[in-house]
Amino acid sequence: MANLAGVSGSKLIHRSVLFERLIDFEIEPGAEFVVEMLPAGYSLGEEWVDLPRSTQNSENGIILISVAVAPAEIRPRMALLPPFPIIEESESNSFDELRSVLSQHHTIGIILLRLGHWAVAIAEDGELVVTKTGSRYVKGQHRKGGQSSNRFRRGREKWIRELFDQAGEMASARFRDYPGRLEFLSLGGDRVVLGQFLKRVKLPDGLGDRALSNRVAVDQPGRKALDNAVRDAWSYRVFEFSQ
């Protein structure tokens, strides 16, 4: 049966808040919940038709929480896009396995990059343990044409390469101190700039190939942006159905 009540816009919710929400579910009078955890490549049933298109092909999989209603109806309650990949498919009437997923320990590298500034970090289980920030001048605009414009373009490309190399060298130096321990790479900044950066810079242990799909929004890389990035890295994109 398709949901008729509708679904709210998504919210980014930290795992600590989700732990509290699960307690609220458990003490809800007369409710019996069904929890499904689906890896990437899943397909959603018609009861989840109101979810936006962005939930149809999450690279990290999806977590679905439904409530059983007598006599034999299942109503969607919440859909969660996880920050880290779901490995195995499961279905349960208990929140125990979901709590286990929320509690999983991860160690990740973080790179925030915008033209002119960069920030690098390592986070263990949601806490920053290594941070480094820096900058490299990159002029943004040039309004003249002709040879002057071409010289500026070549100069700007050189500045960008130097920025990428500086950030890449610092990230690689920090990441090498954690050989084999960094599971994923979390990225923040402009998608095009990040793509160019990963093409130019080779990170240790092939970490550049394990970038998480959730790109962090960042205006200017720095310590404050790293604090926000590590919180986002352990947060879930949540869609909640009205009752």
DSSP per-residue string spanning 121-169: EEEETTEEEEEEEEE----------HHHHHHHHHHHHHHHHHHHHHHHH
Q: How far is CA 42 from CA 55, 119, 167, in A?
A: 10, 35, 37
Tokens 């130097």, located at residue: 162
pLDDT of 6 reads 81
The C-alpha atoms of residue 218 and residue 113 are separated, in whole angstroms, by 8
pLDDT of 3 reads 41
Domains of the chain: 11-104 (no CATH), 107-233 (3.30.420.60)
Q: What is the CA radius of gyration of the chain?
A: 22
pLDDT of 2 reads 41
Residues 6+ apart with CB under 8 A from 196: 160, 164
> What's the pTM value of the predicted model, to 2 decimals?
0.87
pLDDT of 21 reads 94
- Which residues sit opposite 81 in a β-bridge? 237
- Which residues sit opposite 36 in a β-bridge? 64, 91
- Residue 34 burial (C-beta neighbours within 10 Å; 0-12, 13-18, 19+): middle
Q: Percent of the chain, pLDDT > 70?
A: 88
Provide the token pair at 45: 């049933």
The alpha carbon of 60 is separated from its chain's Cα centroid by a whole number of angstroms, namely: 9
The C-alpha atoms of residue 201 and residue 168 are separated, in whole angstroms, by 6
Strands (E), the chain: 11-14, 32-38, 62-69, 73-81, 90-92, 107-114, 117-124, 127-135, 184-189, 235-240
- Segments of the chain scoring below 50 in pLDDT: 1-4, 142, 146-147
